[in-house]
Structure 1
């Protein structure tokens, strides 16, 4: 770090720095609060989706007890035909948001399969939809956590490092200027006494 010049221009410069830094702190704090609120909302949505997914799984176990005896491949009953994800800007952070999702039932023979397969296919359709939404919320939470971490680091940099350092520099400069002023007054008095003493 460069040596601090103990003069009035540096004092003014440090004062301007403190005022500029203090303008950033409220904006960063507001951004941090908005990110915390968005993260809390996303966590709540994630919990709701996990609960809904658990209900679908319990419904499959309760209503379709014959599923373990099924000879076909259950995972081939539904597929994702299209998924559209858009990026939403929240206080400078790009978050993924599901715009549209189309989960389709794959064609199968109604006559050659069990009657409960239609119900299973609908449940699988809702399960796949919930899983995709859940993955998207996880990604959203990841982005929010990264943004929150970066914002908190910046806030701490201004609030706990730069502003206190600039204030400390201001104190040092003010003390040095006050000392220099006192020394100047003392020198002037000594010089005055010498002049008075020489003239007598």
Structure 2
């Protein structure tokens, strides 16, 4: 994206102002990018750990297939998920709050003794699964923000700042050349005027000499 400018002092001042603004903002944007990059790495690791935890829990359930075949999964359902918000380098991201479960009443006398523990295991597994899902959403938001910030850093560092510096240099050279030409023209004009004055003075002296002879 080429920098648009004109060869005059007003444009020169505008380019200087734009350059100063970008040079002042760039360190802040780079700090934001660094913070987002670190947070992306942390959240990614957290999500991977949660997903591994879910897979491990499912494998543990598989070893108890005979027991779980007796369990009624409709006894437990997620009633509500409370999401909160935190900011990372100014970017709002979701954070899991409380997860509300509804557990249908069941008879402790007519169900296996491990049913109470089973309902808690289901709730724990669901909570970890929801945490992983919220983490993936958070990761997507952070990765998008990090990519946009990196693009802005590259735009400033590789396009706009060099482009503005080049434009300023071109305008300065043009104005310097224009000033040099103007000074040269003034010298030529002054020399021409001096020459005309000298001619008139010589003519007047010659005329005076002729009058004296006559």
Counterpart of 1:11 in structure 2 is 12
**Against the structure 1 CA distance between its residues 59 and 3, is the aligned structure 2 distance closer, same or farther, given a 3 Å change threshold?**
closer
What is the TM-score with the length of structure 2 in the denominator?
Answer: 0.79
Equivalent residue, structure 1, for 2:78: 80
Post-superposition Cα deviations, 1:95-121, rounded to whole Å, max 9, x if no partner, equal 111122233543222333334434433
Work out the CA distance in 2 between the residues paired with 1:125 and 1:3: 61
Query: 1:188 aligns to what?
Result: 186
Change (3 A) 1:27 1:73: same
Q: What corresponds to 1:147 in structure 2?
A: 145
Is the Cα contact below 8 Å between 1:103 and 1:128 reproduced in 2?
no
Q: Give, in angstroms, the shift of residue 132 of structure 1.
A: 0.9
Q: Which runs of 5+ in 1 are unaligned?
A: none
In the TM superposition, residue 151 of structure 1 has moved relative to its aligned partner by: 2.1
Instruction: State the match for 2:211 in structure 1.
Output: none
2:56 aligned residue = 55
- Residue 126 of structure 1: CA displacement? 1.1
Aligned to 1:66: 66
Q: Secondary structure at the match of 1:158?
A: helix
Pair 1:168–1:146, CA change in 2 (3 A): same
**Equivalent in the alignment of 1:161:** 159
Superposed, 1:21-170 pairs within 5 Å as 21-62=22-63, 64-67=64-67, 70=69, 73-74=72-73, 76-170=74-168
Change (3 A) 1:145 1:159: same
* Residues 131, 2 of structure 1: alpha-carbon distance in 2 compared, 3 angstrom cutoff: closer
Could you tell me how far 1:65 is from its partner in structure 2?
3.2
Q: TM-score, normalised by structure 1?
A: 0.84
